[in-house]
Amino acid sequence: MATLEGKVALITGAARRIGAETARTLHAAGATVVIHYRNSSEDAEHLQAALNQQREDSCFLVKGDLLDMATIPALIADTVAQAGRLDILVNNASSFYPTPLASVTEQQFDDLIGTNLKAPLFMAQAAAPHLQANHGCIINMVDIHGLRPLKNYAAYCVAKAGLLMLTQVLARDLGPTVRVNGVAPGAILWPEMVENHAMHAEILAKTALQREGNPTDIAKTILFLVRDADYITGQVIPVDGGRLLNH
């Protein structure tokens, strides 16, 4: 089986949860990983130490606020300065919370659009020259609610729907040298800041497999798209346990 040895992957929001599992999975496949974080410095440093213990100088850190567009070119430059190149960009960082129509604010809209759509666009723009030079790829973390709406989450759903279209647009714009695909999780990790247990139970009841997935399910799909899918671009794969079947 092919490995990712010699390849460098930058994963945004990778200090914890799905991002961290993606970093571990790509690293286990041979890649050098660059972990982006904003506030989770302790988690990022622990993950870096664990991965570098497995393979010396195989994990680096970059810090930045993806809502500050001026910092994005510096994140890419810092990645290349530390790791020497860039082959894989995983736009994983995301914000998620309800925005009921009666109370949604402009600040909430800007935050959700900024994290979930605007940042991936400008990350791709800054990374494109390096990815093109190395025939690399981009993976965007979409969401099944970019395909089907979730009540009271208008701004989030619109942002993820935009990211789905951005995946297709980038695949056209960056082809033939760069492949761009997406993964659309269903019920994988319930957000820590959302305590609506009734909604959680309802979502699982409507999922064909009747259970929550886990970060490994997402990370393995990303690995497939990065390593094994040379003729796939512009696609978004739902990893949802059959949730869309019952939506």
Say if residues 86 and 36 touch (Cβ distance below 8 Å): no
Average pLDDT, the chain: 93
Say if residues 137 and 167 touch (Cβ distance below 8 Å): no
Q: Note whether residue 21 is domain-resident.
A: yes
Question: What mean pLDDT do residues 75-82 have?
Answer: 98
Say if residues 243 and 203 touch (Cβ distance below 8 Å): yes
Q: Note whether residue 68 is domain-resident.
A: yes
The helix/strand/coil state of 221 is: helix
- Expressed in percent and rounded to 5, the helix, strand and coil fractions of the chain are 50, 15, 35
Helix axes 41-54, 17-28, angle to 10 degrees: 10
Which amino acid appears at position 161 of this protein? Answer: A
pLDDT band with cut points at 50, 70 and 90 for residue 195: low
Please state, in angstroms and rounded to a whole number, the distance separating the CA atoms of residues 10 and 75: 10
The helix/strand/coil state of 180 is: strand
Q: Is pLDDT above 70 for 37?
A: yes
pLDDT band with cut points at 50, 70 and 90 for residue 114: very high
Q: Note whether residue 2 is domain-resident.
A: no
Question: What mean pLDDT do residues 29-41 have?
Answer: 96
CB-neighbour burial class of residue 124 (10 A; exposed 0-12, middle 13-18, buried 19+): buried
CATH number where 21 lies: 3.40.50.720
Q: Which range is least confidently modeled, 24-28, 155-159, 185-189?
A: 185-189
Looking at per-residue confidence, does 226 or 241 come out higher? 226
pLDDT of residue 247: 55
Note down the domain range covering 240.
Answer: 8-246
97 is catalytic: no
Q: Is pLDDT above 80 for 43?
A: yes
The total number of structural domains that make up the chain: 1
Q: Residue 206 phi/psi, 5° resolution?
A: -95, 5
Q: Note whether residue 106 is domain-resident.
A: yes
Q: Note whether residue 58 is domain-resident.
A: yes
pLDDT of residue 196: 56
DSSP per residue, 69-133:
GGGHHHHHHHHHHHHS---EEEE-------B-TTT--HHHHHHHHIIIIIHHHHHHHHHHHHHHH
Question: What mean pLDDT do residues 135-152 have?
Answer: 95
Q: Note whether residue 3 is domain-resident.
A: no
pLDDT band with cut points at 50, 70 and 90 for residue 106: very high
Question: What mean pLDDT do residues 93-108 have?
Answer: 96
Say if residues 46 and 20 touch (Cβ distance below 8 Å): no
Catalytic residue selected from 37, 97, 153, 156 = 156
pLDDT of residue 2: 80
**Nearest to 25, CA basis, from 213, 227, 235, 238:** 227
pLDDT of residue 191: 56
Q: Is pLDDT above 90 for 203?
A: no
